[in-house]
Amino acid sequence: MTDLSAFPVSTKWRAQHPDRLQLYSLPTPNGVKVSIMLEETGLPYEPHKVSFETNDQTSPAYLSLNPNNKIPSIIDPNGPGGKPLALFESGAILIYLAEKTGKFLPADPALRYQAIQWVMFQMGGIGPMFGQLGFFHKFAGKDYDDKRPRDRYVAETKRLLAVLEGQLAKHRWVAGDEYTIADIAIFPWVNNLVGFYDAGEIVGIKDFPQVLAALEAFRQRPAVIAGLAIPA
């Protein structure tokens, strides 16, 4: 049996199936990127909920795995060379899982880097900007009398959606005609924007029909339906 005792995180979240990939996460846009990818690839995995309500993410056990105290993180007991590998940062995990399975990342180098560039577009733009909009539109920031911060993130979100709209007007999926990790990175955030953040109206989401069509196609994938609810 695989031994994960070298990882302190395993003392707080005990693995029932240590031979499977261990996922430490929450069903947030960043978290479900990895659960969707795992569902899409069919890799056996065991999910563990990292509860922000009880500050699990700041516990010594979790910080030993991810010093940035964010989710998601993984331990792959069957990493490179057959040795366990721990990883954090959702974009890095997506690339790793794509390379491990040979799925959702083109083999052709040019196409591969085109997909990766759109993953970086999400990591550097869509995630931070949509997240800030959520804060100022739905959470504590909505009570600020000064609406300039909110309007700044509304404008930037619209700009990013326009970039996506232009790309999707030319291709079926973000990085081309094939579904890739770029879509798995981006569409959980778009889904969150119009769903959990309830910001569709304020950003004029109906002005981006290609984005909405691709989002609907994304939502209909069985792996997406499953992954959006993991960990329960």
Spell out, as residue ranges, where the chain has pLDDT lower than 50: none
Residues 6+ apart with CB under 8 A from 24: 9, 13, 48, 50, 62, 65, 66, 71, 72, 73, 74
Which pLDDT score, from 0 to 100, does residue 2 have?
86
Which pLDDT score, from 0 to 100, does residue 1 have?
63
Which pLDDT score, from 0 to 100, does residue 117 have?
98
Token pair in block for residue 75: 């331990």
- Domains of the chain and CATH, by start: 9-101 (3.40.30.10), 109-221 (1.20.1050.10)
Residues 6+ apart with CB under 8 A from 94: 33, 34, 37, 119, 181, 184, 185
C-alpha dihedral sign at 130, 55, 45, 68: positive
pTM: 0.97
